[in-house]
Chains A and B, each alone.
Chain A
Amino acid sequence: MSTIITQDDIKHLEKISMIRLSDEERNTFTPQLTSILEYVEKLGEVDTKDVPETTQVTGIVNVLREDEVKPTFTQEQALANAPEQERGYFKIRGSLKNIAADA
């Protein structure tokens, strides 16, 4: 039984993905996600009873290093690509004041 994706499902996905689609993108993507899921659901044919999951292929576990202080970005380097900055901070549009006003 295939999964049918609705526009409401897509709106929920936009929320959890923090991605906004245009109406046109939403109309295109809704049937496409249905067909993508239809394709991947063929894995249901494969018997995986008692098969362990593979999450990585190298077999490497617990890669650790000494907790040493090493040179890292200066404040200037860290801010070099910031769209906006002020007094050494990343700057974004204020939002907390609106919440305070609602409270």
Chain B
Amino acid sequence: MNLARKTIPELRTMLDSKEISVRELTNSILQQVQQKDGDLKSFLTIFSEKELSPAIDAAQKAIDEGKATDLTGIPCSVKDIFNMVGTRTTASAKILDNYIAPYESTVTSRLKNAGAIIVGKVNMDAWAHGSSTETSDYGPSHNPWDITRHPGGSSGGSASSVAGGQVPYSVGTETAGSIRGPAAATGITGFKGTYGRVSRYGVIAMGSSLDSPGPLTRTVEDAATIMKYISGHDAHDGTSIQESALNIDLSARKDLKGLKIGISNDYFSGAIQPGVSARVKEALEVMKSLGAEIREVEMLNPEYAVAVYTIVCRSEVSSNLARYTGTRYGTFKNDPVQTVYDVFMNNRSIFGFEAKRRSMTGSYVLSKGYYDKYYRKAQQVRTLIRQDYDKIFQDVDVFISPTLPNIAEVIGDALNNPLFGEMADLLICASAMAGIPGISVPVGLTENMPVGMQIIGPAKAEERIAQVAHVYQTATEFHKLVPANYE
């Protein structure tokens, strides 16, 4: 029996009833991690039982004293984008290969305070630039449904570690699609909150007006549980919204009676693989049978959102990566220099190609003479995207579409497409730019690979979309599908 395949409440019962100790559970999970990581390559850092001992002992003590939270003693992985004090934090970028975090991110701090056992840090696209983990300087992770394929990205190591049965859940981050996308590509649940719902403090920055941490899990229920512990206002993050932690009541909705679902034809046709559209349409039929009403709504062409995202995010990337000079931390080159300019130039040549490409595209669209044409224009269309959602949410409660246009590709197929990362996010970019919440749930297979459906709601409507997703999941079994070779 693989304990990494259990849900959080199942493990809670086992721990609280003393059927198993925290140490036994952690060792059992570490064994799954080790056993499967040769194939899946989910992990960049795996902690030993000895390193985890203080956390294990503290969690066991809390359980024995009846002070356990939902997460106490339950192992998980976190994306290597979170600073965890005293541990290596690379963002999958070689320039940070030997960087030891001197401080703790709010997300990992809250997980630890809740008693979670973080067994390791998982792979991602370098700096989160990508949708496949292929830009990782440590090589790609592999999809447990077919290891010739990638697991999506950028939180791909989070997805492969959960879908591959290495850990019960993981916490990743999304800028536009980096939680929902890999969750869809590997047949698990991914939950991205409203921008500002989960603190960005201690998260290595990609697109600062977009970055949102969130969970990748086996069930909607688990995702809602983790949100309860990682969300809530944080004084360390100036963009954190003034709200207390999310306390989602999934039992409040038993069916979908009265629910109005918006769909748009642009999100089901064109570049969308027919098998992907078909699975999501079947899921919509299930939701109809549960009482929902489906309405066609008019939306901006999603390709405009991709263009807006490309400009805005790359601009923010060029600004965020400007801080890497290789003088205060990180790798540096000890080549002879003429000026301090050469020092920065030498050290920054260590960036991977994707980071260079994105940073320089951002510098271009922000530079003198081009700002109005690209950056200002994109920020204006971003307003239209937000108005688009304001308009449709007057008529419908949620918006539903496939999460990704395709099943996960074979590793190497997309490397030469300079916009691959963005195109994979075709159906996600608009909601990311609007900063609204979305949850992706598995809806079956096509070509033996998982398909995900995303449920999007207005700002701060996390509870609504989680309830809808939970009702669907309660009525279906797709979230229980397990890849044959990685039980």
Query: Which of A's residues lie within 8 Å of B, judged by CB?
Result: 9-10, 13-14, 16-21, 25, 28-29, 32-33, 35-37, 39-40, 42-44, 46, 48, 51-58, 60, 63, 65, 73, 77-78, 80-84, 90, 92-93, 95-96, 98-99
Contact = CB atoms under 8 A, between A and B. Distances in A.
A96 B338 CA distance: 8
A28 B318 CA distance: 19
Nearest to A102: B338
A82 B382 CA distance: 40
Nearest 10 pairs of A and B residues by beta carbon: A57-B435, A81-B329, A53-B379, A48-B380, A32-B418, A54-B382, A63-B238, A83-B332, A40-B307, A20-B349
Nearest to B355: A19
B363 A17 contact: yes
A14 B361 CA distance: 10
Given A32-B418, A46-B304, A53-B380, 17 more contacts: A13-B363, A13-B367, A17-B318, A19-B356, A19-B360, A25-B356, A28-B353, A29-B360, A33-B360, A35-B419, A43-B381, A51-B383, A52-B383, A55-B379, A60-B196, A84-B332, A93-B336
B269 interface: no
Interface residues of B, number: 72
Nearest to A52: B383
15 contacts: A19-B359, A21-B356, A29-B356, A36-B361, A51-B384, A52-B380, A52-B383, A53-B376, A53-B383, A58-B241, A60-B238, A63-B239, A83-B327, A95-B337, A98-B339
Contact of A95 (B300, B331, B340, B459): B340
Interface of B: 98-100, 102-103, 195-196, 209, 235, 238-239, 241-242, 300, 303-304, 306-308, 310-311, 318, 322, 326-332, 334-346, 348-349, 351, 353, 356-357, 359-361, 363-365, 367, 374, 376-384, 386, 418-419, 434-435, 459
Contact of B328 (A43, A55, A81): A81
Most buried by A among B242, B311, B327: B327
Nearest to A20: B349
B99 A29 contact: no
B360 A81 contact: no
A93 B102 contact: no
Contacts of B332: 83-84, 92
Contacts of A96: 340
B102 A77 contact: yes
A33 B364 contact: yes
A35 B377 CA distance: 18
B327 A92 contact: yes
B241 A60 contact: yes
A4 B33 CA distance: 49
A63 B349 CA distance: 36
Contact of A18 (B98, B345, B378, B434): B345
Contact of B360 (A13, A43, A73, A98): A13
A95 B343 contact: yes
Given A43-B304, A54-B379, A48 B360 contact: no
Contacts of B386: 54, 57
Contacts of A19: 345, 348-349, 351, 356, 359-360
Contacts of B242: 60
Nearest to B86: A80
Nearest to B242: A60
Given A33-B364, A57-B195, A81-B102, A40 B311 contact: yes
A39 B231 CA distance: 36
Nearest to B351: A19
Contacts of B361: 33, 36
Contacts of B103: 73
Nearest to A99: B339
